[in-house]
């Protein structure tokens, strides 16, 4: 709970700064200015989400809770989803992006925090660099992408994805091979327990496919939980 209050204080502080910026009409007068404010605020929102997760994992009983049906990640996703007025699934997706930025792409995260790149562009970079397992290669890609974001003209989403893939291919060719092997092994298997009358899924999917499946499963479970009539 203490961690949650601390995060709320930080969010209030960020909100105050943004309000101050918005009230200073002589400082920000263009669409570009406000786009930068929006991106910087989004970066801080993601950082606050990670802070909530860290506080939850640092609390007593965290190891035991990881074995619960609603583990720390799911609980935090539900909490921040409610606070941000989005679904728990959407919050979980954003939390994954936030953790990746902090732990895997700190230089890209710094550019994002400065408001110089959009959330959507950051999201593309996170997903396209997920196959990288070599920390040295990951740091090199992080540095190269951070530099490109501030020195080169913005790209379309497709163009950015191709640029990230080029960096990954040049700095960690094995990552591309892992992705190709993973793509060939994609699939979904349904395991039925006839005695219990239940079933569970095991699957290997691309990230965007998994996200779509998660939305579908969430919708099905919500409908199943509603009382008839």
Say whether pLDDT at 132 is over 80.
yes
pLDDT at residue 1, rounded to an integer: 42
Cα distances from 66 to residues 47, 78, 227, in angstroms, run 22, 15, 29
Continuous segment of H or E residues that includes residue 99 = helix 88-103
- In whole angstroms, what is the distance from residue 28 CA to residue 100 CA? 31
Under a CB-based contact definition with an 8 Å cutoff, are residues 104 and 146 in contact? no
Under a CB-based contact definition with an 8 Å cutoff, are residues 201 and 189 in contact? yes
pLDDT at residue 47, rounded to an integer: 93
Under a CB-based contact definition with an 8 Å cutoff, are residues 131 and 179 in contact? yes
- In whole angstroms, what is the distance from residue 197 CA to residue 199 CA? 7
Structure tokens at 25: 């009409």
Say whether pLDDT at 167 is over 50.
yes
Task: Please measure the distance between the N-terminal and C-terminal CA atoms of the chain and give it in whole angstroms.
Answer: 38
Least confident range of 129-138, 158-167, 219-228 = 219-228
pLDDT at residue 184, rounded to an integer: 58
* pTM exceeding 0.85: no
Under a CB-based contact definition with an 8 Å cutoff, are residues 179 and 128 in contact? no
pLDDT at residue 72, rounded to an integer: 83
Angle of the 31-58 helix axis to the 72-84 helix axis, nearest 10: 140
Continuous segment of H or E residues that includes residue 181 = helix 173-184
Q: What percent of the chain has pLDDT over 70?
A: 70
């Amino acid at each position: 709970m203490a961690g949650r209050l601390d995060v709320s204080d930080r969010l209030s502080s960020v909100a105050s700064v943004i309000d101050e910026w918005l009230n200073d009409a002589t400082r920000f007068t263009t669409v570009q200015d406000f786009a930068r404010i929006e991106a910087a605020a989004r970066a801080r929102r993601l950082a606050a989400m990670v802070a909530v997760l860290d506080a939850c994992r640092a609390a007593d009983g965290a190891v035991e809770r990881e074995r619960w049906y609603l583990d720390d990640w799911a609980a935090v996703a539900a909490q921040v989803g409610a606070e941000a007025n989005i679904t728990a699934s959407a919050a979980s997706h954003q939390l994954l992006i936030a953790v990746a930025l902090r732990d895997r792409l700190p230089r890209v995260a710094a550019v994002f925090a400065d408001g110089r790149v959009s959330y959507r562009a950051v999201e593309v970079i996170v997903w396209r660099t997920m196959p990288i397992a070599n920390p040295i290669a990951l740091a090199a890609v992080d540095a190269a992408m951070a530099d490109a974001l501030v020195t080169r003209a913005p790209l379309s989403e497709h163009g950015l994805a191709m640029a990230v893939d080029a960096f990954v291919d040049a700095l960690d060719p094995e990552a591309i091979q892992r992705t190709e092997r993973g793509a060939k092994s994609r699939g979904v298997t349904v395991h039925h327990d006839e005695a219990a009358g239940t079933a569970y899924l095991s699957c290997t999917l691309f990230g965007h496919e998994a996200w779509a499946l998660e939305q579908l499963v969430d919708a099905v479970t919500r409908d199943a939980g509603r009382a008839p009539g």
